[in-house]
């Protein structure tokens, strides 16, 4: 669900600490792709599948519907959406990491009949028409967008009026004891697990989560981008936030 800043390439303008340029984010996910699913399971004790199922429920898709999963990674949320739209529906999963997409395609090939295809795309400039989908989702991807407003704006643009945009993301719990546990887990244990797995990638996770707007602020950004009926639920003791909004009707 997260990853860390590699050092900037020679000659590149260094970013602020914990902030990555888009090319660095893509390279980082290409690098950790083979490890990504296993790290998710270890870091969340397997709960991440349950959170994606809740996100897919919030998309409120009917059989035959069309859905887009942005920053799809290895495709788990797209496959959850595919189970809801059924064989008459269509799900597109997009990501800018080719290695993540390759793993998503392999996973989908093992699920005969899942109406899903995986395509390369940058979330900040989606190659889809306005109002093309009934819902768009993003799971643990929005915090990596170099421009959050633009990424959410693109998801909103490609969903029909009345359709839903769902954001599943890690958030910083405010109250103890979870806030203390969060500090220990994300600042110490997750980076240590990453080092055990021979990658520094997971040291980036805490900073990317802390930079991300809290639940109310995120709801405000969704509203400004044209979403309405916005609500959110916190789960896992306040560490996971699921936001949903409906595209404004004309």
Ligand X SMILES: C[S@@+](CC[C@H](N)C(=O)[O-])C[C@H]1O[C@@H](n2cnc3c(N)ncnc32)[C@H](O)[C@@H]1O
Burial class of residue 110 in the structure, from the number of CB atoms within 10 Å of its CB (0-12 exposed, 13-18 middle, 19+ buried): exposed
Residue of 118, 140, 182, 202 that binds ligand X (CB under 6 A): 140
Least gap, CB of 132 to ligand X (angstroms): 17
* Nearer to ligand X among residue 72 and residue 182 (C-beta): 72
**Is 76 near ligand X (CB under 6 A)?**
yes
**Is 80 near ligand X (CB under 6 A)?**
no
Q: In the complex, which residue's CB is closest to ligand X? A: 73
* Nearer to ligand X among residue 53 and residue 248 (C-beta): 53
**Is 122 near ligand X (CB under 6 A)?**
yes
Least gap, CB of 150 to ligand X (angstroms): 9
Least gap, CB of 84 to ligand X (angstroms): 16
Residue of 73, 153, 163, 215 that binds ligand X (CB under 6 A): 73
Residues that bind ligand X in the complex, under the rule CB under 6 A: 1-2, 25-26, 29, 52, 71-73, 76-77, 95-97, 100, 122-124, 139-141, 144-145
């Amino acid at each position: 669900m997260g990853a860390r800043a590699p050092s900037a390439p020679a000659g590149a303008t260094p970013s602020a600490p914990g902030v990555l340029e888009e090319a660095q984010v893509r390279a980082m996910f290409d690098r950790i792709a083979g490890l990504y699913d296993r790290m998710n399971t270890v870091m969340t004790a397997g709960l991440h599948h349950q959170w994606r199922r809740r996100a897919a429920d919030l998309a409120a898709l009917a059989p035959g519907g069309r859905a887009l999963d942005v920053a799809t990674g290895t495709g788990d949320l797209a496959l959850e959406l595919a189970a809801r739209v059924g064989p008459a529906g269509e799900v597109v999963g997009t990501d800018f990491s080719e290695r993540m997409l390759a793993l998503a395609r392999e996973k989908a090939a093992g699920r005969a009949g899942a109406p899903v295809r995986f395509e390369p795309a940058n979330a900040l400039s989606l190659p889809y028409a306005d109002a093309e989908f009934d819902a768009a989702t993003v799971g643990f991807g929005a915090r990596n967008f170099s421009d959050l407003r633009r990424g959410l704006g693109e998801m909103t643009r490609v969903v029909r009026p009345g359709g839903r945009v769902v954001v599943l993301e890690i958030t910083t719990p405010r109250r103890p004891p979870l806030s203390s546990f969060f500090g220990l887990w994300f600042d110490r244990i997750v980076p240590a697990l990453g080092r055990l797995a021979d990658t520094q990638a997971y040291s980036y996770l805490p900073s990317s989560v802390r930079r991300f707007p809290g639940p109310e602020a995120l709801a405000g950004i969704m509203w400004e981008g044209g979403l309405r009926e916005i609500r959110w639920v916190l789960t896992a003791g306040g560490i996971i936030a699921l936001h949903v909004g409906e595209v404004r009707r004309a």
